[in-house]
Amino acid sequence: MNCRHCGEPLKHTFLDLGFAPPSNAYLSEAELSAPEIYFPLKLKVCDNCWLVQTEDYAKAELYFSKDYAYFSSTSTSWLEHAARYCHSMTERLSLGRNSFVIEVASNDGYLLKNFLAAGIPCLGIEPTDNTAAVAERLGIPVMRRFFGEALGRQLAEDGRQADLITGNNVYAHVPDINDFTRGLKAALKPGGTITLEFPHLMRLIEHTQFDTVYHEHFSYLSLYTVSRIFSAAGLRVFNVEELPTHGGSLRIFGCHMENARANCESVTAVLRAEAAAGLQDLAVYECFQKRADEVKNGLLSFLIEQKRLGKKVAAYGAAAKGNTLLNYAGVKPDLLPFVCDAAVSKQHKYLPGSHIPVFAPQKLVEEQPDWVLILPWNIADEVVSHHRYIHAWGGVFVVAIPFIDFFK
C-alpha cells in the first residue's frame, strides 16, 4: 500500500488491532444469527509526510450507510460546543444574510440549525439518509452526497461558493483526503475561510487513545501533515486552536494560499510541540502497540476480577470507540452483560462483534450495577452529571482509557 497523501510506500505499522467489524454496524436481534463482516484494523505511518492511516479494505459507503447510527445531537455537550462555534464564527467573519455557510458531514443538523436560526443561508452535505432526514425536518437544505473535488467544482459552477466551509470530525473519515481537500478549495470563495476539527494525533499518542481507531477513521492527523495536505491543494493553514473535545482536538483555519491573511503564532507553537513530542520520529510510533496492549490487559483484569467477586458491571455509551476497545479485548456479555445509551437509534440493538445488548438508561436503575464503565470517556463528565443517581445504591463510574480510573 502507498500513502494516501504523498504516494510513498508504507513500510511501518503503527498499531495492529487484529480483525473487527465496522464500529457503527449495530445489529438487530434477527441479524445475530447471520455472519458478520470483519476487516483487519491496522494503522500504517508514512515516514515521508507522517500521515497515519488505515490499510485499505473497504469503501466508505460500507461504513456510512443509510442506517448510520451516530446522531450528533445525542450529546448535550457537543450541542453546546457547536452553538459556541457558530456564535464565534458569525462575529469573527461578520456573517449575515448575504453570507453562505457549508457544513460537510452535517449529520442531523446539530450545528447548522444555529446558522439557520440566525438567518444565515447554509447548506449541509451529508451522505447518510437517516441523519440527513432529521436535518431536513429542521428546515436545513441538505445534499445527500459524499464530498470531494467533483462536488466542490459543481458548487462553484452553480455560484454556491461559501464564505465559510466547516467540517467537524469528517476530515479523518474521508478515504481520499487529497480529493476532499481539493473540493474544499473549489467550493471556497476567494476570501473565504475553512475550519476543520479533528482529533489530534499527538493527544492520541500521549494518552494511549487507541480506541479512537476504527475503520471509519481513515486518517489520524497532525497539524504538520494537514499543513502539507492543504499546501498541495493550494490552501494554507493560517490559524489553529487546541480543543478539549474527543480527548484533544485541533480546529484549523484555512484559506486560499494567495490570501493576504498572515499566519498566527499558534501554528508555529503547535508545530513545535508536535516536533518535541516526536511526531516525525519513527521510535514514537513503534512503541505504541505495547501501550495499547497494556490498556487492553488492564480492562480485562478489572472485568474478570469483578466477575470473580460477584459484582455487577454495566457500560454506558454504545460508542464506536467502545466497540474498538471491547472487540480488541475480546469482551463478551459474560463479562459485560449490557450497555446503556441515550440514542434511541441504538437501543434494542447489539454491539458489533461483542453482541452486547444496548438498552435505554432506565436499565441502570432496574439492574443497579456496582460498576458503570463509561465507554465514551471523552464525555465522562457529562455522563456522570446526568446519571449521578447510581451513587444511591453505591454504584461507581469507571473508565479504561488511558488506564482504569474511577469517578466518585
* pLDDT in the model for residue 335: 98
User: Which 3 state secondary structure label does DSSP give 312?
Assistant: coil
The three-point CA angle 53-184-119 to 5° equals 125
- Are the CB atoms for 103 and 111 separated by under 8 Å? yes
Burial class (CB in 10 A: 0-12, 13-18, 19+), 124: buried
% the chain with pLDDT above 90: 90
The span from the CA of 394 to the CA of 221, in Å, is 41
% the chain with pLDDT above 70: 95
Q: What average pLDDT does this structure show over 78-107?
A: 96
The label of the residue with cell 489553529 reads 240
266 φ, ψ to 5°? -60, -35
Write down the H helix ranges in 122-200: 129-137, 149-157, 177-187
The span from the CA of 346 to the CA of 339, in Å, is 10
* pLDDT in the model for residue 61: 52
Q: What average pLDDT does this structure show over 24-28?
A: 92
Bridge partners, residue 235, by sequence:
256
Q: Which residues contact 91 (CB under 8 A, 6 or more apart)?
A: none
Q: Compute the Cα dihedral for 254, 132, 347, 219 and give only its sign.
A: negative
Q: What average pLDDT does this structure show over 208-232?
A: 96
* pLDDT in the model for residue 70: 60
The span from the CA of 292 to the CA of 177, in Å, is 26
- Are the CB atoms for 371 and 316 separated by under 8 Å? no
pLDDT digits (tens, 9 = 90+) for 192-209: 999 999 999 999 999 999
- Are the CB atoms for 171 and 177 separated by under 8 Å? yes
Reported confidence tier of residue 24, pLDDT bands at 50, 70, 90: confident
Q: Locate 332 and state its grid cell.
A: 463478551
Question: In angstroms, how far is CA 306 from the centroid of its own chain?
Answer: 31
Q: Locate 227 and state its grid cell.
A: 499543513
15 φ, ψ to 5°? -155, 135
Residues spanned by CATH 3.40.50.720 within the chain?
A: 300-407
Bridging pattern class, strands 371-374 and 12-20 = unpaired
Q: Which of 207, 195, 257, 269 minimizes the C-alpha distance to 231?
A: 257
Q: What average pLDDT does this structure show over 382-394?
A: 96
pLDDT digits (tens, 9 = 90+) for 51-84: 999 987 655 555 454 454 467 666 788 899 999 9
- Are the CB atoms for 106 and 135 separated by under 8 Å? yes
| 72-285 topology per CATH | Rossmann fold (3.40.50)
Q: Which of 78, 26, 321 minimizes the C-alpha distance to 373?
A: 321
| 300-407 topology per CATH | Rossmann fold (3.40.50)
* pLDDT in the model for residue 67: 52
Least confidently predicted of 56-60, 225-229, 354-358: 56-60
Rg of the chain (C-alpha set): 21
Residues spanned by CATH 3.40.50.150 within the chain?
A: 72-285
Higher local confidence (pLDDT), 69 or 142:
142
Q: Locate 225 and state its grid cell.
A: 501533515
pLDDT digits (tens, 9 = 90+) for 255-300: 999 999 999 999 999 999 999 999 999 999 999 999 999 999 999 9
* pLDDT in the model for residue 402: 94
pTM equals: 0.90
Q: Which of 45, 94, 1, 116 minimizes the C-alpha distance to 282?
A: 45
30-47 as b/e, with b when 16 or more CB fall inside 10 Å?
eeeeeeeeebebbbbbbb
| Residue 162 clears pLDDT 50, i.e. is over it | yes
The label of the residue with cell 471509519 reads 216
Mean residue pLDDT across the chain = 94
pLDDT digits (tens, 9 = 90+) for 311-320: 999 999 999 9
The span from the CA of 182 to the CA of 129, in Å, is 25
* pLDDT in the model for residue 69: 47
* pLDDT in the model for residue 208: 97
User: Which 3 state secondary structure label does DSSP give 241?
Assistant: strand
User: Which 3 state secondary structure label does DSSP give 190?
Assistant: strand
